[in-house]
Amino acid sequence: MSAVAVQSDGVAKLQQARTAALAKIEEARNRRAKRLKEAKGEANLEIEAFKSQQEAHYNSLELQVCTSFVTDFAQVNSQYGPHEEICNKMTIEQLDLLQRSFQSNKNKALQLLLSKVLDVKPVVHVNFGFKSPGSQ
């Protein structure tokens, strides 16, 4: 064999090796992408399961808190209706209580605030030192 034939044979082998390596890399990328899609799907399923579990837990806690103020649930159902309506009515009652408290205390709070703002007694801070312009 001549040197040119050996050299072209070596180049052909390098091309084949390069093509095979690129094919392996592409295959690995495809496998990785497939695994990522599967992992995302599994994660979404787990998230949805956790979300529904937490939602159910929240709803049960909401019902428990809203009905804990009342001793007879049948009386509450006949008077108010489902637990959402109970919570809404209790919220309105609490807001009314806060509004009445605000109305009764707003003048006192305003007087206190004005007295603190208007009765200022200026005092030089202890860390502030007077230095004459010539001293260093």
**What are the C-alpha distances in Å from 116 to residues 103, 104, 107, 111, 121?**
21, 20, 14, 9, 10
pLDDT tens-digit map of 72-114: 555 656 665 667 777 888 889 999 999 999 999 999 999 999 9
Question: Same domain, yes or no, for 15 and 50?
Answer: yes
Q: How many structural domains does the chain have?
A: 2
pLDDT for the residue 98: 94
How far apart (Å, rounded) are the C-alpha atoms in residues 34 and 28?
Answer: 10
> Is 63 part of any domain?
no
Predicted model pTM: 0.38
How far apart (Å, rounded) are the C-alpha atoms in residues 123 and 17?
Answer: 86
> Is 74 part of any domain?
yes
Structure tokens at 114: 């004005």
How far apart (Å, rounded) are the C-alpha atoms in residues 114 and 117?
Answer: 5
> Is 125 part of any domain?
no
Could you list the residue range(s) of the whole structural domain that residue 92 is in? 69-106
Question: Same domain, yes or no, for 17 and 48?
Answer: yes
**Which has the closest alpha carbon to 87: 100, 99, 70, 75?**
70
> Is 25 part of any domain?
yes
Give the confidence band of 26 by pLDDT, cuts at 50, 70, 90.
Answer: very high
